Amino acid sequence: MTYDVVIIGAGIVGAACAAECAREGLSVAIVEAGIIGGGATAAGMGHLVVMDDSEAQFALTRYSQQLWDEVSDELPREVEYDACGTIWIAADDEEMAEAQRKARFYSERGVAVEILDEQSLREAEPNLRPGLVGGLRVPGDSVIYPPCAAQFFVDQARERGAQLFLGDAVEAVDADGVRLRNGTSISAGLIVNSAGSWSPLLTPGLEVKKRKGHLVITDRYPKFLRHQLVELGYLKSAHSSTADSVAFNIQPRRTGQLLIGSSRQYEVDDAGVDPSILRRMLERAVEYLPGLRKLSSLRTWTGFRAATPDKLPLIGPHGEHRRLYLATGHEGLGITTSLGTAKLLVAQIMNRSTQIPVTPYLPARVPQESLHA
Ligand SMILES: Cc1cc2nc3c(=O)[nH]c(=O)nc-3n(C[C@H](O)[C@H](O)[C@H](O)COP(=O)(O)OP(=O)(O)OC[C@H]3O[C@@H](n4cnc5c(N)ncnc54)[C@H](O)[C@@H]3O)c2cc1C
């Protein structure tokens, strides 16, 4: 069995990379140890969001969002694409100043935004508590159901001839390709490690750490919410790389359900639900939406984000292993940035120029001694 490319992992990132490689006419093998989109992709929120922690993060999220917009008409119903937009909520004057800064940053770069005062925030989302200062509406953001999107991209790849090895884990990457736990060898010109938070197990020394998150989904309450709502205080908690944190982040699903997040924890391997974190997370949500207290939740789960030290993904050649490429480390934005990642990866494989500068995401930016600790 010989392929141009073998992709390890069929989460949203591996699936998008497989579809893009197959579109280029490359022969592709996809190896998925579990089920398609069953890793962080199943655990995530599916918010397709433009972010501005850094110019590089903005460039990749914006580029990816444009790619999602292009593909949105082709997405099957079960992907539940919903262009609901985001409202970033300012609870005090400091957060309102941040909303203004964000508004300037986005509009200078061509992203449509609207500043909301207290009154217009109430009109946009009547269930929010009174007394919030205002917010920033980003109407171009949207929401999907990620596992079905991963399945869609795997199906696209297979329609173009890709071979799927499902339920087989890659045990080792070797000079020739990969060896599966069941003893099968797959030889390939290139190997793409897109195994998310598992990627360091196959490529030791990668600076990718697990960052645990909790989510809760409610029963169906259509019209309770219209936008994805995120507190601007979220930025403070998302930036902390040591302490456990929770932040108000809630999403209306096409089904009428509400998906409530989110938490961030480092150095936690246990996938179990942590009642104290869960309580903090829900109390935070109720502070913003008091009516949530009366609603029923159906299920709670956790997942692991794959975090890099500079919060940017690793996209491109490994550096030392000649045939190995990386597409991992997408932390809390991998659903959004999967499509940009696939384009940047394939452009590098095909030796073509890229739509946005690729340098900030190259694995080589991470010192070699970190790649091979
Ligand atoms: C609580 C939470 C909320 C989030 N919310 C959002 C959001 O709103 N928007 C957003 O953009 N992102 C969000 N994310 C982040 C997003 O979910 C991830 O960045 C994204 O799913 C990563 O996709 P992936 O394909 O890299 O990894 P995964 O989905 O984890 O896929 C990796 C795959 O590799 C497979 N695998 C592992 N080892 C092997 C092996 N040895 N052989 C073969 N296969 C293997 C696994 O089975 C898995 O299917 C969130 C994440 C969490 C945890």
Checking if the pLDDT of 372 tops 60, the result is no
Residue 236 has what pLDDT? 63
In this prediction, residue 366 carries a pLDDT of 67
> What pLDDT is stored for residue 371 in this prediction?
47
Give per-residue pLDDT as tens, 347-368.
Answer: 999 999 999 999 999 999 865 4
Residue type present at position 47 = H
CA proximity to 41, closest of 266, 305, 325: 305
| Per-residue pLDDT at 317 | 97
Instruction: Kindly give the distance from the C-alpha atom of residue 100 to the centroid of ligand 1, in angstroms, as a whole number.
Output: 32
CB 28 within 8 Å of CB 213: no
The CB of 230 under 6 Å from ligand 1? The reply is no
- The angle formed by the CA atoms of residues 39, 306 and 254, to the nearest 5 degrees, is 50
Q: For the chain, give the mean pLDDT.
A: 95
Q: How far apart are CA 47 and CA 57, in angstroms?
A: 15
- The residue whose CB lies within 8 Å of the most ligand 1 atoms, and thus the one to mutate among 13, 80, 299, is 13
- In the predicted model, what is the mean pLDDT of residues 9-33? 98
Provide, rounded to the nearest whole percent, the portion of the chain with pLDDT above 90.
92
Token pair 């030791």 is found at 204
Q: Which residues contact 184 (CB under 8 A, 6 or more apart)?
A: 1, 165, 168
Residue with CA nearest ligand 1 atom 37: 195
Ligand 1 pocket test, candidate residues 6, 7, 12, 191, most atoms within 8 A of CB = 12
The whole model's pTM is what?
0.96
Contacts of 310 (CB under 8 A, 6+ apart): 365
Query: Does the pLDDT value for residue 178 go beyond 90?
Result: yes
DSSP per-residue codes, 113-164: -EEEEHHHHHHH-TTSPTT--EEEEETT-EE--HHHHHHHHHHHHHHTT-EE
pLDDT tens, 216-247? Answer: 999 999 999 999 999 998 666 556 666 789 99
- Using a 10 angstrom Cβ sphere, with 0-12 exposed, 13-18 middle and 19 or more buried, the burial of residue 207 is middle
What mean pLDDT comes out for the span 63-89? 98
Distance between Cα 134 and ligand 1 center (Å): 33
The answer to whether the CB of 60 falls within 8 A of the CB of 359 is no
